[in-house]
Structures are given as structure tokens and as C-alpha cells.
Amino acid sequence: MSTTWHILGAGSLGTLWATRLARAGVPVTLIVRDQARLQAYEAQGALTLVEHGEARSYPIPAQTPDSAEPIRRLLVACKAYDAESAVAQLAPRLAPDAELILLQNGLGSQDAVAARVPHARCLYASSTEGAFRDGDWRVVFAGHGYTWLGDASHPVPPIWLDDLTAAGIPHEWSTDILTRLWRKLALNCAINPLTVLHQCRNGGLEAHHCEVATLCGELSELLQRCGQPAAAEDLQQEVERVIHATAANYSSMYQDVDSRRRTEISYLLGYACKAARRHSLHLRHLEQLESRLIAHLQSLGLPSD
């Protein structure tokens, strides 16, 4: 009998993973926030994945965090700002050989989670897949992509990558996962806050070339100082390529603000600015960008952390 995947957070990515694993016959159990959410899920009875316009439902079992069942493999699919407290609730249930897969964007939440469960193995993921909820317990697979997984302190891949292969989840084991996460964070810092402040699609930043280039210069300096020279390589060219290739898209931060959802600012631009301060690096434009973004979020009555 293969090990059950406990999926913490039945949101966009949690559902995308849970449904694909379940349809491949891999045992999956959802962990939802509380009794009220469990009742709501049970009334629905299944998670629905919409792929290529076709909806399919999967009756995956669910439980609350206070269930007694031990957990050996936990996919953490909450937002970065919820991950630490959500995992802390489950700490007493983790088996001695438990492994956690952390799907959070940005940096900072992974260390916070790892500190809460020092005996568990924590693997980090960086994904270019895209999904969104178009209803409760219902997710649209919007962008096919790739997920890189790695363990910053242990280069040996886990055996359960076979489950991902069986489930058709495109993935690759990465021995430089921190470099990937830093690179993605830098791309996000150079693009997402500006799309919010200029109220534009990614392509709208082509009209703000100098501002983008200045930020890329400061971000490259930061990456070098943080011991991530590979993540700094040709950063500006890649940012420009992404802006061009995704010109018609709205960034995830733009979409969060537009839908009046909390952003993950503290784990993206906020993390970068904090790292700069820790290294006594004065990055004027990056700091100004953070102040402008915080002021903008506050002016809209949205959380700025």
C-alpha cells in the first residue's frame, strides 16, 4: 500500500495536485481548515478539476487538522502567509519519517515552516503551473507548466517522485532549488509590484523600460550579495523576455489586488528588502517600490504584510 498524500489546503494548487494524484489511483486525503469547511466539502462530496474545458469530479476523503490520523507525506498548499500556522497545527500528527512538500511562492515561509517541524524533511517546490478557483471546491487548470522540487540540505531525490510521474504532474528534481526560488522571486519583484502600481498587464511594463532596468540592476546586486550569483545571471534579459512573452497576462499580484485578496508581498518584495537590509545594502529603488506598494495597498484598505 503506498503512502497517503495529505493535502493541506484545498485551494487552486492543492486541488490541482489532489485530483491528478487521485485519478492515478494514489491515496489522497484533504485537510481543510475547520469543521465548517469540512461540512461544506462533504455537502459537495468531491473536488472538481476543469481541464481543456471539461469538468471531472473526484470524491477525495477529507478531514480537519484535529483528526488523529498520522501524516507521513504532507503537501502544503496554503498561501505563504498561512503555511507556518497551518503546519504548526499538524505538528503532533507528523510521523518520525514525515516529509513535507512546500508549494509556496517566494521565500521566507519555507524556513518558518521548517523551524516549526525540525524533525521532518522539508522539500521546496517552484512551479510554473497555473490554476484558479471558479467556485468552491472547483478549480480550472489554466496554465500547463513544470514543477521543480528540491531539498536544500539533502540532494537525494525521494522515491515518491514516481507518484508524480504516474499522476502526469510534470516535474524535475533540482539540486539548486534555492537558486530557482531566488530567481523566481527576483522576476516577481521586477514585474508584479509595477503592474499593480501602473495598473497594467505585464506587457504594459514595456513602456516603463528604465524603471524595470534599474530594479533589475538592484536585484542582481542583492542576489550576488546573498550568495546567489547564478540567480543573477542575465536577469534583466529574462525579465524583458517574460514581460514580452506574457504581455497579455495580469500578474498574480495584480489579480490578488484586483480581487481584493491579501497579497504575498512579505514573501516576495518584502523578503528581498529585508535581505538587503540584513546585508547593509542600500537599494534605493527597491525600497521605494516597497513603500509605494505598501501605501497603495493601505489606500485600498488591503493588508500590506
Catalytic residues: 184
Using the rule CB under 6 A, is 116 a contact of ligand NAP? no
Give the residue, chosen from 47, 50, 80, 223, that forms a contact with ligand NAP under the rule CB under 6 A.
80
What residues does 177 pair with on adjacent strands?
A: none
The three cell numbers locating residue 105: 511562492
Q: Does 31 bind ligand NAP (CB under 6 A)?
A: yes
Does the protein bind ligand NAP through residue 86 (CB under 6 A)?
yes
Which residues pair with residue 45 across a beta bridge? Answer: none
Residues 177-206 contacting ligand NAP, CB under 6 A: none
Given candidates 4, 5, 7, 10, which one binds ligand NAP under the rule CB under 6 A?
A: 10
Among 117, 123, 131, 178, binds ligand NAP (CB under 6 A): 131
Positions in 256-275 near ligand NAP (CB under 6 A): 264
Within 10 Å of residue 18's Cβ, how many Cβ atoms?
28
C-beta of 12 vs 19, nearer to ligand NAP: 12
Cβ atoms < 10 Å from Cβ of 229:
12
Minimum CB separation of residue 282 from ligand NAP in Å reads: 29
Q: Which of 5, 6, 7, 9 binds ligand NAP (CB under 6 A)?
A: 9
Q: How far, in Å, are 177, 178, 218, 234, 298 from residue 224 at the CA level?
A: 16, 13, 10, 12, 32
- Tell me the residue type at 202: N
CB of 76 to ligand NAP, least distance (A): 9
Q: Does the footprint of ligand NAP cover residue 18 (CB under 6 A)?
A: no
Exactly one of 25, 42, 69, 133 binds ligand NAP (CB under 6 A); that residue is 133
- Taking contact as CB under 6 A, which single stretch among the options 25-33, 42-50, 52-60, 197-205 is the one that binds ligand NAP? 25-33
- Whole-Å CA distances, 65 to 70, 218, 290: 11, 42, 35
Residues 41, 22: Cα–Cα separation, whole Å: 16
Determine, following the binding rule CB under 6 A, whether residue 77 of this chain makes contact with ligand NAP.
yes
Q: Which is nearer to ligand NAP, 260 or 284 (CB)?
A: 260
Instruction: Report yes or no: 262 and 256 within 8 Å, Cβ to Cβ.
Output: yes
As measured in angstroms, the least distance from the Cβ of 134 to ligand NAP is: 11
Site string for ligand NAP, 138-177 (x = CB under 6 A): ----------------------------------------
Contact of 215 with 289, CB cutoff 8 Å: yes
- Give the integer Cα–Cα distance in Å for 237 and 110: 28
> Which listed range, 21-29, 74-82, 193-201, 240-248, lies at the site for ligand NAP (CB under 6 A)?
74-82
Which residues bind to ligand NAP, rule: CB under 6 A? 8-14, 31-33, 37, 65, 77-80, 82, 86, 103-105, 127, 129-131, 133, 264
